[in-house]
Structure 1
Amino acid sequence: MTILYFVRHAHSTYTPDELNRPLSERGFTDATNVTKLFKTEEIDIVVSSPYKRAVQTVEGIAEHIKIEVEIIDGFKERILTTVPAEDFTHAITKVWEDFNFSWEGGESNIVAQKRGVETTYNLLEKYKDKNVVIGTHGNIMVLIMNFFDKQYDFSFWQNLDMPDIYKLTFDDKVLRNVERLWERL
């Protein structure tokens, strides 16, 4: 079995610079708690989206097990639109209502999900039978989970915490179990 721990990043301080947006003070506190939680798990590998807030959320466990965080571009957040959405709620609702719809310059759910699932399959092959922590983002995480089980949908995404952690157990490329870990804290 391969275990993938999907970690939605902790709270960040908003800046328009998606790549370099850092965690907030609250986010750093939560990231410390994420590290504590993972100290009770047998972690082999830590990977992350290239976005700073995702890396900062999982880098503590990488330091604890004395490895580097491997950056994987495919786990970055989905691109909703190239221009800031006037109404974010409307913009995000629209793409979840129609998986083929995309805003100007953005990724449809189908496109983002395909990217995320291909990245997940690559990870399952590369790290077969390992326990892998993945620093990522809410929307792409739920799109990946939705591919394997449709119960992980828009309303599920709306109820995520920041951070949030889901332990997905795979037998080869077949999802066998999902467990939420963040509620343990």
Structure 2
Amino acid sequence: MNTIVYMVRHAESPYDEGTERTRGLTTKGKGDVEKVTEILKEEGIDIIISSPYNRAILSIEGLAQNLGLDIETFEDLRERHFAGEIIENLMSVIREEFYDFDYSLPDGESNSDCQNRSISVIKNILKEHSGKKIAIGTHGLVMTLMINYFDSSYGLDFLNQLKKPDIYKLSFENLELKEVVRLWNEDF
């Protein structure tokens, strides 16, 4: 029996150091949330789950309201914690260390740590909700790491081409990823 997971990368969010958990969405991001809802509202989604970060929740909130579903948050779906201090060029650091999954900056988390904690949640979701359709509000790097766990061809190039928001439909048979299809269409 196939289980479908819709990974929804959060919409555009204003970057403000120190507000990782609470920052909202830009005006463009808020408009794109309506597109996310339009794309997914007829998919037959049974369950909506999210990272606890506000921008991820806000990106699927319209869908939840449209479907009359609650959003269940999981702390271990949060974005990767990069370091205990401000990083000047975060994307440069991500690119440099992406394939060294055990590397982390001081007081930070490695890709391996982030992948392990998020995959633990995904595996439980797949087992508990087998045969269901599940939407997950997520972040670019953690989404890439989750898909990468099941298919190593999803790496840095995949991360670099992601949009805010973005939507990927993942089809699983038990714990085996069978298909990945991009649903996001900026012209929708």
TM-score class, shorter: over 0.9
- In structure 2, the residue matched to 1:26 is 28
Separation in 1 of the partners of 2:83 and 2:179? 33
Separation in 2 of the partners of 1:87 and 1:177? 34
How far apart are 1:105 and its partner, in Å?
Answer: 1.2
Separation in 1 of the partners of 2:117 and 2:107? 16
Question: Any stretches of 5+ residues in structure 1 without a counterpart?
Answer: none
Q: CA deviation digits over 1:32-79, x for unaligned, max 9?
A: 100011112111011110100000000111111112111111211011
Check if 1:86 corresponds to 2:122. no
Q: CA deviation digits over 1:97-120, x for unaligned, max 9?
A: 311100111111111111111111
Q: How does 1:57-136 map to 2 (within 5 A)?
A: 57-136=59-138
Separation in 1 of the partners of 2:7 and 2:63? 13
Check if 1:9 corresponds to 2:10. yes
How far apart are 1:127 and its partner, in Å?
Answer: 1.2
Deviates more, 1:66-75 or 1:132-141: 66-75
Give the match's secondary structure for 1:156: helix
The one-letter amino acid paired with 2:6 is Y
Deviates more, 1:82-91 or 1:165-174: 82-91
Give the match's secondary structure for 2:70: coil
Check if 1:182 corresponds to 2:163. no
Q: Which runs of 4+ in 1 moved over 2 A?
A: none
TM-score under structure 2 normalisation?
Answer: 0.95
The one-letter amino acid paired with 1:57 is S
| Pairs aligned (count) | 185
- In structure 2, the residue matched to 1:173 is 175
The one-letter amino acid paired with 1:155 is D
Question: Any stretches of 5+ residues in structure 2 without a counterpart?
Answer: none
